[in-house]
Amino acid sequence: SNILLSSGSCSSFFFAFGLYFRDCLCVFSTAAQQRSTGDECGPEDPCDEPRHPLSERALELKASKLEEQVRDLTERYRKAVADSENVRRRTQKFVEDAKLFGIQSFCKDLVEVADILEKTTESTTREAEPSDPKPTLKKICEGLSLIEAKMQSVFAKHGLQKMNPIGGKYDPYDHEIVCHVPAEGMQPGTVALVTQDGYKLHGRTIRHAHVGVAVESQE
């Protein structure tokens, strides 16, 4: 609606600008005709009374006033064009964000499914025994691993990526501290463990990673 209003305002300015420009032309034309009539009259042929009652001074004042109004309209028109451009850019940015982050709510739900799949795969892999003569459980583990890999591939295709904060600096915008662990071989303030994976959608954090941060041990 803002774009339509701005377009209507621009049209009104164009119409008003045209009217004032036409008036200016009429005034200048009238003044030119009066000067021309005065020049053509000789001393033996006195000039007739001017066709227009306005004096040259009055015409100049009116022309000056019209020029000032034209300048004002021009300035207002430029401001209206600038406002329209700002609205267009904001609308374009909104549309682009809607395309990128329109699936954000869906992704938040989907990563919970990915968590369950990952935990199930790890649990099944631990229970599978290499010496088991029945390869059923082993095949199930392989199938779950393939599904998990495919899911992460689909995530990456749509801009959804899992964070890997281990060893990195703690960032309150990406991480949520759930515990502290002794800094054994790690710099204090770095992420030592992850209890829940975090995810980003096109660089925007949609779920914080639950992490344990290394701290100096107190003896």
- Summarize pLDDT for 26-35 with one digit per residue, the tens: 555 555 555 5
Residue with tokens 């309150």: 172
For every residue of the chain, DSSP letters joined together read -HHHHHHHHHHHHHHHHHHHHHHHHHHHHHHHHHHHHHHH--TTSPPPPPSSS--HHHHHHHHHHHHHHHHHHHHHHHHHHHHHHHHHHHHHHHHHHHHHHTTHHHHHHHHHHHHHHHHHHHHHHHH--TT-S--HHHHHHHHHHHHHHHHHHHHHHTTEEE---TTSBP-TTTEEEEEEEE-SSS-TTBEEEEEE--EEETTEEEEPEEEEEEE----
Instruction: Please give the span between the terminal C-alpha atoms of the chain, in angstroms, as a whole number.
Output: 66
Q: What is the CATH number of domain 159-218?
A: 2.30.22.10
Whether the predicted model's global pTM rises above the 0.85 cut: no
- Summarize pLDDT for 95-145 with one digit per residue, the tens: 988 888 888 889 999 999 999 999 998 888 877 666 665 677 788 888 899
Q: What are the φ and ψ backbone dihedral angles of 151, each rounded to 5 degrees?
A: -65, -45
In this prediction, residue 186 has a pLDDT band, given cuts at 50, 70 and 90, of confident
Q: Which of 195, 171, 185, 174 is nearest to 217 (CA)?
A: 185
